[in-house]
A and B are shown apart, each in its own frame.
Chain A
Amino acid sequence: MYGMIHRAVRQMVLDTRGEATWAEIERAAGLGPAEMISAEVYDDEVTLKLIGATAEILAEPVDALLLAFGRYWISFAERGSFGRILDFTGTDLVSFIGNLDNMHRGVQAVMPDARMPTFHLVDSTPGRLIVSYASSRTGLERFVEGLLLGLLDRFGLTGSVSERPANGHGRQFLLTYSTI
């Protein structure tokens, strides 16, 4: 994956645990600043090594870490250089999710080696959304769940996200929420 993902992991650790813990993770994963370049593509294995080492040092299950990281990613993007792009994508949850693919396509023009997921609004009623997610990767479902929770945070909504059985290709997530 692109190094921007690694940077976000690093920032999350720095924000929540501090520099010493990050140094430990870097040592455990055998990575350094050279693996933290946003516009550089790294083998998914490097990303997995980083996630694995982070989970180990933070003594958290990988799934819990992926969920927390997904949620964190949204606030990370908001604060950093990608904030403007999030703003541009949509000002409410429904239009935002509806525009995600469009946004990722735009991003891909600059990051041609990205393997982008596709999101689709399957059903939308007030306070309840069904979102499908398809990807060439597997095992990122908890990450997606975290991202969707992060989006609820972003739009000032409280609620929950859960995966539900899907009968097409891809996976489906159910979002139920209300305004705070």
Chain B
Amino acid sequence: MQIEIDESVLGVLFPAFVILDDSGRIRQFGPTIARRFPTIAGGDRIETHFTISGAAPDGDLSALAGSSQTFTLVGHVDQARLVGTVLRCSAGLLLTLRMSPESFLLDSSDYTMADFAPGDPAIHGLLLLSMQRALLDEQRTVVRELAKERQSSVDLLDRVSRVAGFMAHDFNNFLSIIKLTSDRMRMELLDQPRLRRMLDIIKSTAARGSAITRSLMTLSHQRDDTRILVSIDDMIRDNAQFFSTIAGTGVQIKMDLATTGLVTAVSPVGALNSLVNLLMNARDAMPEGGSITLRTQVRRLPAGAIGRSDEASDYIVIEVADTGKGMAPEVLSKAFKPLFSTKPSGNGLGLASVLDFARESGGDACIDSTLGRGTEVHIMLPARPAPDVAMAREPGLAGPHPGSETAPTILLVDDEPYAIEALAELLEAEGYAVTACQSCAQALVELASKPFRILLTDIVMPGENGTALAEAACRMQPDLKVILMSGFVPEGQSMAEDWMFLRKPIDTATLTSMLRLALDGPVAAE
């Protein structure tokens, strides 16, 4: 059967058709061939422009004529692939070619729908694939945007939280004094019901005040349970997929994790935020792509290297290194400053909050960068061996302690004279022997001169730090029990596992039961 088809119709049906004459030379071709292969001219041999596969070994296409067997032409110049069958026509052989979808995908080619016959399923398939690709691209961008958004609200919250936290601290101190003082007065006014009634009013008003501070604390995300023991390696592994999305295509993350068996006491949210921050910075430093190395290792740092550590200790070092453009020395020197940013849309809190996180966790962070070679940020966090069950110990779970008969000695430290006065009186009334100090320095002198059973100290004091005092005190008197008290725990105060924590404003009943617990150990087994 011979079908006569007009050339213009042929061009619509098979935009990439080719007609060969009996000697195998190109006689005519469709619009797509003309556009895609401008060097082809009538009279050329097909082998001059294409490699033929799927035909007889000598490239003879006539053997395929009339069969449904397909063959493939691969362009010598741009490797574009054409697939088709062979029909016999009056002029010779008609190659009913069409662009192979593969070429559309492989090169970022300039094929258009017009290169395909109307209704060619390839059109649909190609659109589908392109859409999928486009949406995948978009999805990556969205994940990055959401991460960024989350980050900037975290940073903002962080700032709000600090202000709220400090306010809560002052407020709680005052409330504490009011409550304790009214408890004292109440004991002295046993026979004056009217005055006692007034004291009750003062107390209940103070209680309402502490409810308000509590909401302030919630706002400030002040919780004393946020820090738990975290295996940094596990955390990184668990989030690997998320991290690589943040890094984006074109940026490869290489992981080298070597702190198995070690944990650090940190806020998991803070740790994750810090890493996300660093990854986003690294990514932004490599618009043309590159690689990020995420490495963890243990390093023993000498005494005094970080904070107030006075003996060498082990740290988990997290390193985030990129192969990006690096920073000039003048930029580097300011990199950790809050509100400093080189990015047009940066709020400059990223690196500053990483540093805060590290320091609040009892560690530190540093940055090293060379223009044109990349940037490395190191976060150092105090390492400790992973317990069998990695769980946080709530403050307030003291180990058992042998009972005691004589008046137990308490070293009381608080910078507020009224608080000291109220607490000391209350404790003495409970049968404790109290030594009161208004500063850590004074407390250290007392510790050097006689033994104490319990240290009851405020945490936040002007220029001084109750947790540091407690650490020093425990070294001086290893059997000492520690109760820290505060209306506000600056995040990342490292507390030893057996220290207890009492939130201000102090409730007298809680305080006395906690003291008993410190001396006698928990009543029921844990």
Q: A residues engaging B (CB < 8 A)? A: 4, 7, 19, 32-34, 36-39, 80-82, 84-85, 87-91, 95, 99, 102-103, 105-107, 109-111
Interface pair A109/B112, CB less than 8 Å apart: no
Note all chain A residues with C-beta closer than 8 A to B137.
Answer: 80-81
Is B205 part of the contact surface with A, judged by Cβ < 8 Å?
no
Q: Indicate if the CB atoms of A106 and B128 lie closer than 8 Å.
A: yes
Contact B145 A99 (CB under 8 A): no
Find chain B residues with CB under 8 A from A87 CB. 110, 112
Contact with A along B272-294 (1 / 0, CB 8 A): 00000000000000000000000
Q: Is the CB of B127 within 8 A of A109?
A: yes
Complex contact A39–B113 (CB within 8 A): no
Known contacts A39-B138, A81-B138, A87-B112; A102 and B345 CB within 8 A of each other: no
The residues of A that contact B91 with a CB separation of less than 8 Å are none
**Bitwise interface map of B from 205 to 227 toward A, beta carbon under 8 Å scored 1, else 0:** 00000000000000000000000
Q: Is there contact, CB below 8 Å, between A85 and B127? A: yes
Closest to B119 in A: A102
Partner of B138 from A38, A89, A103, A105 at Cβ < 8 Å: A38
| B131 and A109 contacting across the interface, CB-CB below 8 Å | yes
CA distance A34 to B153 in the complex (A): 14
Please determine whether B131 and A107 come into contact, CB atoms closer than 8 angstroms. Answer: yes
Which of chain B's residues have a CB closer than 8 A to the CB of A82?
Answer: 134
Question: Contacts of A39 on B, CB cut-off 8 Å?
Answer: 135, 138-139
Max count, chain A CB within 10 A of own CB: residue among B110, B114, B127, B142: B127
The answer to whether A90 and B113 touch (CB under 8 A), given A19-B345, A81-B138, A106-B123, is: yes
Q: A87-B110, A109-B128 are in contact. Are A102 and B139 (CB under 8 A)?
A: no
- For A80, list chain B residues within 8 Å (CB): 134, 137-138
Verify if B132 is at the interface (C-beta below 8 Å from A).
Answer: yes
Q: Which residues of A contact B113 (CB under 8 A)?
A: 88-90, 95, 99, 102-103
| A residues near B126, Cβ cutoff 8 Å | 88, 106
Residues from chain B with a CB closer than 8 A to the CB of A7 are 138
Tell me the complex Cα distance, A110–B139, Å: 14
A19 to B347, CA, bound (A): 12
Q: Report if A88-B130 is in contact (Cβ < 8 Å); known contacts: A38-B139, A103-B113.
A: yes
In angstroms, Cα B126 to Cα A106, docked, is 8
Residues from chain A with a CB closer than 8 A to the CB of B146 are 33-34
A84 touches B134 (CB 8 A): yes
Instruction: Identify which of residues 110-164 in chain B touch chain A, using a CB-to-CB cut-off of 8 Å.
Output: 110-114, 123-124, 126-128, 130-135, 137-139, 142, 145-146, 149
| B108 contacts the other chain (CB 8 A) | yes
Interchain nearest-CB distance for B273 vs A (Å): 17
- Complex CA–CA separation, A43 to B43 (angstroms): 60
| Closest A-B pairs by Cβ, 8 of them | A106-B127, A81-B134, A110-B131, A38-B138, A81-B137, A33-B149, A99-B113, A109-B128
Note all chain A residues with C-beta closer than 8 A to B114: 90-91, 95, 99
